[in-house]
Structure 1
Amino acid sequence: MIAELDASTPRGSLAIRLRDAILERWPAEVKAVGLCGSMAHGDDTDSSDVNVIVVTYRPKTGPKPTQRRVDGIPVDLRVVTAEEGLGQARSLTPNWPLLADAFITTFPLHDPEDWFKDRREAHLNLLSEARPMEFTGLARHNWAIAGGAHTRAARLAQWYDTDAALILMAQARLHTALVAGLLTHTHFRSTVDAVKHTGVAAADMQELGAILKYQAEELTARGRPVDGRLGALFD
């Protein structure tokens, strides 16, 4: 994570202006304001978004979540209550590989009570206590989505519905990447990073099918088979 924000860049300047505008308009409702994503890591580029998270004391207060451009720069504004945000950091979900980076790496623009530090510690404690089978169970969930999307994409390709097949292949690649992330306890910076990091971004129908077959075997070896009897549906 960066040690200090460079306010001389257009994105850094905009982040400061956003923080000041939020605190001026909702001084009693906002507990903390932080930066996530590439700006928090310090490797943002001219095409990067400004990813801002606003933490409120109570629900339905503060700014509304939004995505839009400000002075030509894409802004992703997310809002969460302090209680909800800590609860998310203490929970493992199928989307964990895409959520963990924000839990671990957020640069505080305004955080007088060290809420972002508390959230980070809460998530690291969760990871230290989580059992391998929890990750495997979540991986099986993503495998089911990936496998289903891959099967439907293959069928649509046979029917020459190429556009729909491409959409489903993108879904299959993403969830295949999430399976890999969960099995290796690896989190990613974004959906693009996930498919590139796991090597599935350019996988064609046959290659992705082979990867899914390998993942199914790995899940079975870890006690979470992707196919089974009716009773196993509720395990």
Structure 2
Amino acid sequence: MKTVLITGCSSGYGLETARYFLANGWKVVATMRRPRFDLLPASDHLRILPLDVTRPESIDRALATAGSIDVLVNNAGIGLFGAFEATPMSTVREIFETNTFGVMAMCQAVIPRFRERADGIIINVTSSATLAPFPLVAAYTASKTAIEGFTASLSHELKAVGVRVKLVEPGYGPSTRFTANGQRRMEGLITKPYESFAHEVFTGFGQISAVTTAVDVAQGVWDAANDTSDRLHYPAGADAVALVRNAEG
């Protein structure tokens, strides 16, 4: 029985991915900043651990408690929507601390374990914002695009030591708590010069028919975790798949 450790399991994609792997017979280490034990079904195959990916000591404690794992899923992330002009650099840094440096820190902590046994899979969850440009998410997109380049490069060097690295790229998921979770940091980021444009963007989002569900992402992560090939990219959700097909012509 294999074990997966998933970050950011308190809601959305991480929570659904934990449910999916548990239902399919894996041992699951579900981590979140503030653990909640009522979100997942009780199981001998489930452990819920505290983990803040921006704190090295938290990473060390979680991995020591988790023990041996076969797959790491870097799902934890925070959202940001607003005009870049109005976004304080402190907020940009906050986004990068979780979405970029937190992912890198988790990878760096797990790689020695996987390398020593010449086996293991790292799955980094990014966004369809890396597949096609979206307005008013410049800082967020930058944080996720950095992980795309990082993962592509890392996949080459870790292949040499028997470790596989994958990217799961979810599409637009209106059912997630992207806006709610980032409401505090988004306050005041739609300034008057951008109000009418932002209204058009929000209206456009509301008209999107092909969207991504949490189950789509869980399935994408599952496929990546069970694929023994060198495939790197796994778009998740009908809209993300369509973006890739359009890019390919």
TM-score between the two structures when normalised by the length of structure 1: 0.28
Tell me which structure has the larger Cα radius of gyration: 1
Q: More helix per residue: 1 or 2? A: 1
TM-score between the two structures when normalised by the length of structure 2: 0.27
Using CA pairs below 8 Å that are at least 6 residues apart, which structure has the higher relative contact order?
A: 2
